[in-house]
Chains A and B, each alone.
Chain A
Amino acid sequence: MPCPLVTQGSPGFHGIFGRQDRAEQFFRSGHTNNWAVLVCTSRFWFNYRHVANTLSVYRSVKRLGIPDSHIVLMLADDMACNPRNPKPATVFSHKNMELNVYGDDVEVDYRSYEVTVENFLRVLTGRIPPSTPRSKRLLSDDRSNILIYMTGHGGNGFLKFQDSEEITNVELADAFEQMWQKRRYNELLFIIDTCQGASMYERFYSPNIMALASSQVGEDSLSHQPDLGIGVHLMDRYTFYVLEFLEEIHPASQTNMNDLFQVCPKSLCVSTPGHRTDLFQRAPQNVLITDFFGSVRKVEITTETLSLDRDVAGFESKFPEEELATEPLKYAEQLPVAQIIHQKPKQKDWHPPGGFILGLWALIIMVFFKTYGIKHMKHVF
């Protein structure tokens, strides 16, 4: 039977297209903002490649639209201005020094000693001290898609932070569950580039998490290539090929997650990258790369108009009149020698003796009177 000719406005028209539209909507992500938490957990100059890994992902994520205010970047050591860096203020990802991933406009939120397991978990769960500045907070809500990238040295079930502490896969899974219960994410993409990385996502149990790792349990993630001028390995293999893949993505591209899973096969990476999608509701082929690496900007056109007050000059007069001083003010003397010499030390407030001193004296007096008897008291008084 031929398709009946329908005109716009008839219920049949909306019926067919409405359903298809709604079905497509179901497979599109419902997020309204994007966040990224990028963590490099290694300290010391020979772990240059971990900082380069994190900065490459930072660079891609910024290029695809996520602003600095929505990125929490944690670098455990400073490679760019390290005294051992022959090219200061640069971090290279390729041995011909083609790409300076450090750039000119980088904002590192957690530096050096601030990168600890405690701070990382606090950022994820949102339980941070009240005086933390905004740039150090993950202010995500239930419609945020978050990308979490971690790199460093790891093992079966743990990731080492700065050579002095570890985070286990159980702790990480619990942190994500806390995030889910507090409605701090809509969907989460977790990428880890360490040795035995797949062990870190084994224990996840919260919904809407997709995870990628650079190697399976029992395998080591290898580094890509050393640079003889700088003297260290510049990047890890997995992140190097992920960076190459991401360089081809632009904000409007329709590449999906299945392509990301194919990045770095065993022939290039030597280790076997793994992924986990059973907790994720949508199928990977419907998930765009830009859902996590790019940024959604929702623009709503409004038809309301707002009329601005033409009289801007009148604004100036609203400031209170300044009081002028009656006599000229003076600058303070920088080295008032006479005043300093005659500075009287502040009288210290008298504090009653503390508990320890009182207890000690009580003990001494008790011992004295026990030894010599109470009859000596009349000599005292």
Chain B
Amino acid sequence: SRPRSSLRVLSDAQHSGLTLPTVSHYRLFPKALGRLVAALGVRELHLALTQGFWRTRYWGQPPLQAPAGAELWVWFQPTVTDVDKAWKELSNILSGIFCASLNFIDSTNTVIPTASFKPLGLANGTDHHLLRYAVLPREVVCTENLTPWKKLLPCGSKAGLAVLLKAERLFHSSYHSQAVHIRPICRDASCLAVSWELRQTLTVVFDFFSSGQGKKDWSLFKMFSRTLTDTCPLASQSKVYVDISPKNKEKELLEVSPAPTSVHEAIVQGDKKTYAVYDLLSPSLFNTSRSLNVQLKWKRPQDTEMPIPTLHAQRYVGGYGLQTGEICTLIYNTHPYRAFPVILLETVPWYLRLYVHTLTIITKGKENKPSYIHYQPAQDRRRPHLLEMLIQLPANSVTKITIQFERALLKWTEYPPDPNHGFYVGSSVLSALVPSVTAMKDMDVEQSPLFASLFPSSDGSSYFVRLYTEPLLVNLPTPDFSMPYNVICLTCTVVAVCYGSFYNLLTRTFHVEEPSRGGLAKRLANVIRKLRGVPPL
């Protein structure tokens, strides 16, 4: 295992036999999602809620990455006539199921990619007008999103592997990503019948150094504050895989206890990996004690160097001030001799006005012209920018893509309640077929563990990977929101004083007033003098 620990929990419900498009068995497949898929004509649905960012340089290649916030992309059936309406309904219904603000998905953050996000399930024709993609980078993930995710599992969080998933431990982590993937797949090897697959994934990175644990030894109890006691009765397969791949051909570097039921070698992400497998359904595992606490101890201190992944990227905002800026993306290809193409998909909100004529792509000092560009400019308050490019990355190179933008001034009612926090730009997506270190043969495909089989691979010499860059936080010129109040006060005061004075001057009549008699004594004296008929004092 590596210095970080990641848990991939998959619930694969391949038995439900839900035939496209009608009638349905909800023994394993949750009814909420089944009815949704049938009613709205969904062919594929992928929803991911993520908190944190995957640090590729420290943690290696991610098993399945998702962008920070909420990401939803859906392929609809060709029978759907109004895709936008179905998309809107779908995001509203999902926001109710997952307690997330997915109802904020509308035309201002939805795009139709033309080259990325090809269907991951069975498909015969990929008209990209049936695809919709949206990302909400501001979305927060917390227990209220985990609870409905757990309720979709056949045994909930009562039995099986899911008993480990307690919110207090899962959210005390550097990265937390939960996803739901629905797609049609082959029912068996002959691939003549179609089944629906619901795949729920949860990727968590626990950081023991920061939480004060110090050593890199871990155990299930340390991570989750509980151990495994039994399996879900509805599960046909329930396994725990521990990655014990030797680095640099050194064996005996670590020790796993208790003894695994088997040791399995597989090619995952183009590399040969060794896994210690604990099959929870085998009776020998729970023989001695009712609880299973997998532990890993390092025999020798190990350096923290992770192998640098073949493809990784980063993105940042350049420039200064609140008028203009620049989005810079750096893509690294660290393979020593193979070049491969990558599709970059960028979605930029309309209030950052991109200048496409300033788009430059530079590799090794020279300009790199993309083989395919699709740019759809934004329409204010209606549509975001969409930029898709197919770029060839030469071996062992860094590609820098820059594009300049100008910040727009929004109407004062369009600012969120905390505008000084800034505005998010969603992560850009990189899709690539990365050459494998070890070629995967056909028979390996069937034996590959469940967590490695989301992306179908056409040939074993390369594997498909989808990476996301950091989301950006940009400040827009923010007005002073107390100004309306100030202006109203000032204007009313000025109007009252000026107009009021003029009005008084024009409409008042003036008459001479007797000077007032001062003092009580004087007034009494004057009264007596008036009675006497003598002029007053």
Contact = CB atoms under 8 A, between A and B. Distances in A.
A113 B104 contact: yes
Interface string B80-117: 00000000110011011101110110000000001100
Contacts of B89: 131
B530 interface: no
Contact of A336 (B100, B118, B120, B186): B118
A55 to B, nearest CB: 11
A319 B22 CA distance: 9
Given A89-B170, A133-B97, A164-B481, A81 B141 contact: yes
B500 to A, nearest CB: 27
Contact of A163 (B186, B372, B417, B432): B417
A111 B140 contact: yes
B96 A136 contact: yes
B372 A340 contact: yes
A330 B171 contact: no
A78 B142 contact: yes
B99 A80 contact: no
Contact of B103 (A81, A114, A320): A114
B101 A328 contact: no
Contacts of B432: 335
Contact of A89 (B126, B172, B186, B191): B172
Interface in A300-358: 319-320, 322, 324-326, 328-337, 340-341, 343, 345
B190 interface: yes
Contact of A106 (B114, B147, B171, B431): B147
B143 interface: yes
A331 B143 contact: no
Interface in A88-119: 88-90, 100, 102-109, 111-114
A331 B89 CA distance: 28
Interface in B121-142: 121-124, 126, 138, 140-142
Contacts of B190: 328
B417 to A, nearest CB: 4
A136 B100 CA distance: 11
Given A133-B96, A340-B390, A112 B22 contact: no
A306 B263 CA distance: 55
Nearest to A337: B341
A106 B143 contact: yes
A105 B374 CA distance: 45
Contacts of B186: 328-329
Given A78-B142, A81-B171, A88-B171, A332 B119 contact: yes
A331 B123 contact: yes
B140 A78 contact: yes
Interface in B144-197: 144, 147-148, 166-168, 170-172, 186, 190-194
Nearest to A44: B418
Interface in B480-537: 481
A107 B433 contact: no
Contacts of B341: 335, 337
A104 B118 contact: no
B321 interface: no
A78 B141 CA distance: 9
Given A81-B51, A329-B191, A113 B416 contact: yes
B452 interface: no
B456 interface: yes
Given A111-B140, A325-B193, A333 B458 contact: yes
Contacts of B104: 113-114
Contacts of B170: 89
Given A81-B171, A340-B390, A109 B99 contact: yes
A45 to B, nearest CB: 11
Contacts of A163: 417-418
A-side interface size class:
35 or more
Contacts of A113: 101, 104, 416-417
Contacts of B374: 345
Nearest to A325: B192
Nearest to A131: B92
A343 B147 contact: no
A131 B39 CA distance: 14
A145 interface: no
Given A89-B142, A132-B92, A343 B115 contact: yes
Contact of B101 (A102, A111, A336, A341): A111
Contacts, number: 159
B371 interface: yes
Given A43-B417, A329-B191, A334 B371 contact: no
B385 to A, nearest CB: 17
Given A334-B431, A343-B372, A112 B144 contact: no
Contacts of B481: 164
B455 interface: yes
Contacts of A331: 119-123, 456, 458
Contacts of B458: 331, 333-334
A181 B283 CA distance: 65
Interface in A109-147: 109, 111-114, 131-136
B168 A90 contact: yes
B433 to A, nearest CB: 5
B344 interface: no
B172 A335 contact: no
A33 interface: no
A162 interface: yes
A320 B23 contact: yes
A329 B191 CA distance: 6
B460 to A, nearest CB: 14
B19 interface: yes
B464 interface: yes
Given A81-B141, A89-B168, A107 B147 contact: yes
A330 B125 CA distance: 10
A46 B458 CA distance: 53
Contacts of A109: 99
A337 B464 CA distance: 13
B124 A133 contact: no
A156 B159 CA distance: 53
Nearest to A345: B374
Interface string B360-400: 00000000000110100000000000000010000000000
Contact of B390 (A164, A332, A337): A337
Contact of A134 (B51, B96, B433): B96
Contacts of A132: 92, 96, 103
Interface string B309-329: 000000000000000000000
A108 B144 contact: yes
What are the 10 tightest A-B residue pairs by CB atom distance, in nearest-first order? A133-B96, A81-B142, A331-B456, A328-B191, A89-B171, A162-B417, A88-B171, A332-B123, A131-B92, A164-B417
7 contacts: A81-B143, A88-B171, A104-B166, A107-B147, A329-B192, A333-B458, A334-B456
Interface of A: 43-44, 78, 80-81, 87-90, 100, 102-109, 111-114, 131-136, 162-164, 319-320, 322, 324-326, 328-337, 340-341, 343, 345
Given A113-B101, A334-B455, 17 more contacts: A81-B143, A107-B99, A111-B101, A113-B417, A134-B96, A320-B19, A320-B22, A326-B192, A330-B122, A330-B191, A331-B121, A332-B121, A334-B433, A334-B458, A335-B343, A336-B118, A343-B115
